[in-house]
């Protein structure tokens, strides 16, 4: 045994001496003032300006509105805090202005012009204009955009161009021009608040982190088997299925999240998954669910698809959802329906024989078809469904989004888009699938257009979502660390141009972005190994 320990110890020494550990210090040397996600076009020079946060201001020269004014207030605070936190940590740095006495130093920028060229829109939407332009020259700076949503992205990028001066007493920004726009219009994050309740402050923190990564869809998987925390207006009794009376999202809470997201250019897309994942609905409305037989006698299963009144109930609920949530899209779910209960319910078996429904997959198709037909009468709403609804053969109205989450994503993307249906991709971006450190790289290496198909087919892939789904092992204590910075990889793949694929370069930028998020109170975990954040 002692010999074995000696061999392990000696082998470790050989590894260290032979170059496995090359040098002290961070494994990844972070960039300074690099934008995440990588912009479409950027031209920079070594010439630089300084910014004094205590006197810096944004100068609105175009249109304005509450969204813009609140954003500028937030970012002024972010810029001020960025320097304060570094000063707090670097208390013994001597005042040294020698670094300014170089030809590359251009001077101070005390204000940046904010040129919003059109009136503000009220709510974000699919396909909104998120393009912007930043110009930084000698003692001057301008951010231009033709929509409020593009201006939000531009101000975020401007804040990322700033880095701390060597004496930790001002911020530095290089001479640069950025012209940027996203590659995909739908760049989302799914959060499950049913397996564990996620508090309002943490949900707001998640939305902040999304804005820092230019993600624009908060997919709120708000209810599921384990709890029903949404407080309905029409059916308030549904919260009997919540974990606890204190673990409920009131209408006031929902409105607060929608508004918080709106001010950051983020859509809130709710999901009420049926016919499976509905056990919590049965706490107040057991008549909605299937009564199981055989070995499952006494238990309740998925929503019973043969009861007509169930569809009226669902129509009323989704009508309310369409009024509460301003987004045009609602996710109907449709995944992972267990057939064990349906198989043991004699009424369902008899119904299937009467109407020549030959399989339980076809029965699920029958249910989804009736639900979609009902929902389509609500002109305001457009449906999103999980891929099983499509693969089971439901007749989907034009424009229904098919959300791909498992299986062979290349084949499914090719098949869905060949049928002229728009698609979302999540298969390769499951944040609850943990592996060794630096696993963000596997997310970074996934591209939504990597499937056989025509250019027209690829245009039908409108983007994708990272998923912290399911939430069995995340709650307030760890959900932020599970999401960030791993979701940053998804954000860049959905924003940046297809040719941005260099992992080594991304690693250096992500190291800086991780520290940036930490400075902004997003408690992200380290992305790539040993290092530090000042």
Annotated catalytic residues are 336
Angle between helices 503-519 and 200-212 (to 10 degrees): 140
Buried b (16+ CB within 10 A) or exposed e, 475-486: eeeebbebbbbb
Three-class secondary structure assignment of 435-495: CCCCCHHHHHCCCCCCCCCCHHHHHCEEEEEEEECCCCCCCCCCHHHHHCCHHHHHHHHHH
Q: How many CB atoms lie within 10 A of CB 110?
A: 15
Q: Specify whether the backbone of 294 is left (phi greater than 0), alpha (psi in -120 to 50) or beta.
A: left
Buried b (16+ CB within 10 A) or exposed e, 199-238: eeebbebbbbbbbbbbbbbbbbbbbbbbbbbbbbeebeeb
Contact call for residues 87 and 167 (beta carbons, < 8 A) = no
How far are the Cα atoms of 265, 293, 432, 489, 524 from residue 486, in angstroms, in the given order?
21, 44, 10, 6, 9
> How far does Cα 11 stand from its chain's mean position?
44
Helix (H, G, I), strand (E, B) or coil at 67: helix
End-to-end CA distance of the chain: 44
> How far does Cα 503 stand from its chain's mean position?
21
């Amino acid at each position: 045994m002692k010999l074995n320990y000696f061999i392990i110890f000696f082998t470790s020494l050989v590894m260290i001496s032979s170059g496995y550990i090359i040098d002290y210090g961070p494994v990844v040397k972070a960039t300074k003032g690099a934008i995440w996600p990588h912009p479409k076009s950027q031209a920079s020079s070594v010439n630089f300006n300084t910014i004094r946060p205590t006197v810096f201001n944004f100068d609105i020269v175009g249109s304005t509105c509450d969204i813009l004014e609140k954003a500028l207030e937030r970012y002024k605070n972010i810029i001020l805090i960025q320097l304060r936190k570094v000063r707090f940590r670097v208390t013994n740095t001597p005042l040294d202005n020698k670094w300014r006495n170089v030809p590359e130093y251009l001077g101070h920028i005390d204000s940046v012009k904010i040129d919003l060229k059109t009136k503000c829109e009220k709510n974000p939407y699919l396909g909104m204009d998120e393009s912007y332009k930043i110009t930084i020259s000698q003692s001057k700076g301008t951010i231009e955009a033709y929509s409020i949503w593009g201006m939000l992205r531009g101000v975020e990028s401007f804040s990322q161009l700033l880095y701390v001066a060597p004496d930790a007493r001002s911020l530095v920004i290089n001479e640069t021009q950025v012209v940027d726009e996203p590659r995909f219009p739908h760049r989302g994050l799914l959060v499950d608040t049913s397996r564990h309740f996620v508090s309002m402050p943490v949900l707001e923190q998640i939305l902040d982190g999304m804005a820092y990564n230019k993600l624009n869809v908060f997919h709120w998987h708000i209810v599921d088997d384990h709890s029903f925390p949404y407080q309905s207006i029409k059916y308030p009794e549904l919260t009997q299925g919540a974990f606890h009376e204190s673990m409920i999202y009131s209408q006031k809470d929902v409105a607060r999240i929608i508004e918080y997201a709106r001010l950051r250019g983020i859509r809130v897309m709710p999901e009420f998954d049926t016919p499976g994942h509905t056990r919590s609905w049965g706490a107040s409305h057991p008549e909605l669910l299937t009564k199981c037989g055989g070995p499952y006698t006494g238990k309740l299963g998925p929503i019973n698809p043969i009861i007509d009144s169930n569809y009226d109930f669902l129509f009323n609920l989704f009508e309310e959802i369409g009024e509460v949530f301003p987004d045009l899209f609602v996710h109907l779910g449709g995944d992972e329906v267990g057939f064990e209960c349906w198989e043991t319910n004699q009424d369902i078996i008899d119904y299937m024989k009467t109407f020549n429904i030959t399989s339980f997959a076809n029965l699920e198709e029958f249910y989804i078809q009736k639900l979609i037909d009902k929902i389509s009468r609500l002109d305001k709403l457009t449906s999103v469904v999980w891929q099983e609804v499509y693969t089971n053969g439901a007749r989907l109205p034009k424009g229904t989004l098919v959300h791909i989450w498992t299986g062979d994503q290349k084949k499914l993307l090719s098949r869905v888009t060949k049928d002229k249906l728009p698609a979302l991709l999540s298969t390769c971006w499951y944040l609850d699938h943990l592996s060794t450190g630096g696993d963000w790289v596997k997310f970074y290496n996934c591209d939504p257009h990597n499937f056989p198909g025509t250019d027209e087919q690829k245009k039908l892939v409108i983007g994708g979502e990272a998923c912290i789904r399911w939430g069995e092992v995340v709650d307030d204590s760890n959900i932020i660390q599970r999401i960030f910075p791993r979701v940053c990889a998804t954000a860049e793949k959905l924003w940046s141009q297809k040719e941005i694929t260099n992992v080594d370069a991304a690693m250096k930028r992500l190291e800086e972005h991780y520290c940036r998020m930490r400075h902004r109170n997003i408690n992200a975990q380290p992305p790539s190994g040993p290092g530090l954040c000042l």
